Amino acid sequence: MIKPIIAANWKMHKTVAESVDFSQRLAKECEGLEEREVIIAPPATALYAVSQVLKGSTVQLSAQNMHWEEKGAFTGEISAPMLADMGCQYILIGHSERRTLFGETNETVNKKLQAALKFGIKPIVCVGETLEQRESEATFDIIKKQVKEGLNNISTGDIECVSIAYEPVWAIGTGKTATPELAEEVHRFIREILSSEFGEDAGIGTAIMYGGSVTPQNIGELMDKPNINGALVGGASLDVTSFTGIIRY
């Protein structure tokens, strides 16, 4: 059985001091919590400070983005070995905002995925369609392309370290949430792709999370669906009480 994953993506929010305060409070809230995998993804400026707070806690640390090269002339970028050195256990790859605002492609997603795996960081690969793509009935074509190309040349051994986050772009930060039935349909489709590409064990065992205006009010209904294994939480993860409510759905 897949342990539910609840991940907080803070995006471009919180100073170092705010991040440390939140992490201290969250770590206390999660003491003894073994039935959930709780992850927080602070901004890069706060990663090291937060990693020190989380030592010995049940809360895991994720970065929001990285470059696929180990080092080089890439001003403003951060590499996988740098993130590993700061204590990151996870990395978000291919978030919709990275795709739509910063030109992330399935090819660069795959490069980052390969780099993360090389340095022992677990990738959370984000996939999802825009409103225009959904209305033109292209959702499944888009998802299939993103999953297959994003996970290209990944071994069946490595897929065990990968999680997928389905985040319909039209539901992120809009207050709109895909119905649990709609989300379940896409999650089931992703699982079928994984089974086809990597074998039945991968299809059954890979965690597939939902992201898109997740709140304490709707998390329970989403998690009742058999193919939804967790949540990638944006705005509602910025407040400890709100995020804790989601964790303890």
**Has 197 been annotated as catalytic?**
no
Could you say which of 37, 67, 95, 184 is catalytic? 95
Contact 40, 7 (CB under 8 A): yes
Helix%, strand%, coil% for the chain, nearest 5? 45, 15, 40
Tokens 């964790």 belong to which residue? 247
Q: At what angle do helices 106-118 and 139-150 cross, to 10 degrees?
A: 40
Could you say which of 37, 167, 184, 187 is catalytic? 167
Q: Which helix (H) or strand (E) holds 246?
A: helix 240-247
- CA dihedral 123→125→126→128, nearest 10 degrees, is -170
Distance CA 185, CA 68 (A): 32
How many degrees, rounded to 5, is the angle at CA 155 between CA 153 and CA 160? 130
Q: At what angle do helices 16-29 and 47-54 cross, to 10 degrees?
A: 20
Distance CA 132, CA 124 (A): 25
**Has 95 been annotated as catalytic?**
yes
Reduced to 3 states, what is the DSSP secondary structure of residue 239?
A: coil
- 186 Cβ contact partners less than 8 Å away, ≥ 6 residues apart: 139, 140, 143, 166, 168, 178
Q: Alpha helix (H) ranges present in 90-218?
A: 96-102, 106-118, 131-135, 139-150, 180-198, 200-205
Task: Tell me which residues are annotated as active site.
Answer: 95, 167
